[in-house]
Structure 1
Amino acid sequence: MSKTKRTPAGEALTGLILDLFRANSLLLTAGDRLVTSLGLTSARWQILGAIADAERPEPVAWLARNLGANRQNVQRIVNDLERDGLVVFEVNPHHRRAQLVVLTEKGRQIYDAAGRLQVPWVNGLSDGLSVKEVEIAHRVLNALRDRLEGTGED
């Protein structure tokens, strides 16, 4: 039985994907450490960011879609954030059951505090990398994400 071989680009991408898995795990751990004093985890911080960065309040399903995350997982975390007073649910005039998620003042303060912690951390992490290198990596990741989204696979 003959074995199908990866193309050189396929081999290189496989290595990148494996490195991305490892980097993702390390980033989540570092993010957890960075914001634990604020009562956050990387997951909570990421969702607060999606809420803060949205042009207008969005329902959980939209937040999950924008994050490329599972709706049920995002709902669970949003419920925790609501319990802790960081977000509130508001009536959605376009859909009775899909309430809008809105940052509270406390949520905004915690999110801003996380951002202040992130600045020196990310500046140190980027030390020795050129802006051009980071931009190239960003383009490659965006192209990969776009292709994955185009297949309809999660």
Structure 2
Amino acid sequence: MSESGELLSGMALGAFRLNGQFLHVAEDLARPSGMTAAWWQVLGAVLSEPLPVAGIARVMGMTRQGVQRIADLLVERGLAEYRPNPAHRRAKLLRPTRAGLAAIATIDPGHQAFADRLVRELGMEDARQCLAALQRLSAALDRLAEES
């Protein structure tokens, strides 16, 4: 295999491992609130502004069907609600309810504590460099996907 092929494989395997590690951490952080990592992920996507399911899927890199299933569960459990979308009659906007915001608020202290521990482990500058590298990699993959 060429060096570029080995690099791609290494990046993909590293990303898969990181995804699993982050999901494990997220499950541990979300559990006390009665939520799952997936519920937290979808609800977190609409904290700053309501979005349609397709918009959440785009932002989070998930399938629309997967987001729809989770959004419906969040609504069923009273953690989110669908609101009319002035830009699209059929694609309703998802937004958190007070109960959803309260559930997120119970996650925040554990999230902050873990963030502090991780940054202490890496150092602030290395943590910033990790984030920048992940953002560059994601942007490059987006550009290549657009070319296809």
Does the alignment pair 1:31 with 2:26?
yes
TM-score by length of 1: 0.86
Q: After superposition, where does 1:37-76 map in structure 2 within 5 Å?
A: 37-53=32-48, 56-76=49-69
SS in 2 for 1:126: helix
**Aligned residues between the structures:** 146
Q: Which moved more, 1:29-38 or 1:102-111?
A: 29-38
Contact 2:32 2:107 in 1 (8 A): no
TM-score by length of 2: 0.89
CA offset at residue 130 of structure 1?
A: 1.7
Provide structure 1 residue ranges, at least 5 long, that are not aligned to the other structure.
none
Look up the match of 1:22: 17
Look up the match of 1:136: 129
Does the alignment pair 1:99 with 2:96?
no
Look up the match of 2:83: 90
CA offset at residue 12 of structure 1?
A: 4.4
Amino acid at match of 1:39: G
SS in 1 for 2:90: coil
CA offset at residue 122 of structure 1?
A: 2.0
Look up the match of 1:151: 144
Measured in 2, the distance between the counterparts of 1:47 and 1:104 equals: 13
The structure carrying a bigger helix percent of its residues is: 2
Look up the match of 1:121: 114
Shift in alpha-carbon separation, 1:135–1:144, aligned structure 2, 3 A: same
Provide structure 2 residue ranges, at least 5 long, that are not aligned to the other structure.
none
CA RMSD of aligned residues (A): 1.7
The structure having more radius of gyration, on CA atoms, is: 1
